[in-house]
């Protein structure tokens, strides 16, 4: 009798142990580029604050072909901040001298990643430059230099970008407004000298600065496209619980999870 009871306990323990060993598959996020792969994971950390069951991959070091193959195994694409997009990509090659640094390889990589993500219906989130290149990918254009091309008293660029704050207003009846809640205005960390001039096809502006400079975009019809949202500010550099940071990470991760379960 004791042997029987002991045997049942052993079998039950093995079954429970086996169940515990099978953890949920990790959400896989492609990150177009980090500031420094070796010393900074600010974008990955932003997502990890809200979802520990996460695996992330830096696309930039891989080369375009390898990055595209890896993206096909991912559940979301995060297009990050960085250098100016080369103006020849949106019909302003004569204004090259008024831009900052370029990375033509990065432009090519991110355009390729965006197009594949759209084709495969992979959720996309863009930050700063990410918003700008997503707008360009849809046929939009940028102001080459806001201080000289756009009459404004808003300081969109600060010497220390992490301390560059200004308020933004969300547009009613948009996805970002629905997920971030109702409020008149909120300060965000935002530092950039370029911004959306002509809006890309099928996009809608969902947030503005005080001078009417676009600060966020998403699909005009969210039911006809895979998830796409982008902001000009830096949610990864803001407080963990900031209402214009935390909900954005959670929404992107939720969309990535839904994508993962649909495969």
Catalytic residues: 128, 234, 236
HSE, CB side, 13 Å, CA atoms: give it for residue 218.
25
- How big is the CA angle at 224 (ends 107 and 248), to the nearest 5 degrees? 60
Residue with tokens 């990050």: 80
- How big is the CA angle at 235 (ends 234 and 237), to the nearest 5 degrees? 70
How long, in residues, is the chain? 263
Residue with tokens 């407004």: 177
Nearest alpha-carbon partner for 76 in 109, 118, 23, 42: 118
* CA–CA distance, 120 with 8 (Å, rounded to integer): 48
């Amino acid at each position: 009798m004791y042997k029987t009871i002991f045997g049942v306990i052993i079998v039950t323990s093995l079954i429970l142990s086996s169940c515990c060993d099978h953890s949920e598959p990790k959400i896989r996020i492609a990150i177009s580029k980090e500031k420094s792969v070796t010393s900074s994971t600010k974008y990955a950390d932003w997502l990890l604050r809200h979802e520990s069951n996460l695996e992330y991959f830096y696309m930039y070091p891989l080369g375009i072909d390898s990055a595209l193959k890896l993206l096909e195994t991912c559940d979301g694409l995060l297009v990050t901040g960085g250098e100016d997009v080369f103006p020849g990509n949106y019909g302003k090659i004569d204004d090259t001298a008024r831009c900052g640094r370029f990375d033509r390889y990065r432009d090519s990589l991110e355009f390729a990643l965006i197009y594949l993500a759209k084709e495969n219906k992979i959720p996309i989130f863009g930050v700063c430059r990410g918003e700008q290149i997503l707008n360009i990918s849809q046929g939009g254009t940028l102001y080459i230099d806001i201080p000289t091309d756009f009459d404004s008293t808003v300081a969109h660029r600060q010497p220390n970008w992490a301390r560059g704050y200004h308020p933004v207003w969300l547009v009613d009846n948009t996805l970002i407004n629905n997920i971030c809640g109702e409020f008149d205005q909120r300060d965000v960390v935002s530092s950039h000298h370029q911004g959306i001039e002509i809006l890309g096809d099928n996009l809608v502006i969902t947030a503005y600065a005080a001078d009417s400079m676009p600060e966020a975009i998403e699909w005009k019809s969210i039911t006809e496209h895979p998830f796409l949202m982008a902001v000009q500010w830096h949610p990864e550099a803001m407080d963990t619980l900031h209402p214009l940071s935390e909900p954005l990470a959670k929404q992107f991760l939720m969309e990535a999870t839904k994508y993962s379960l649909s495969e």
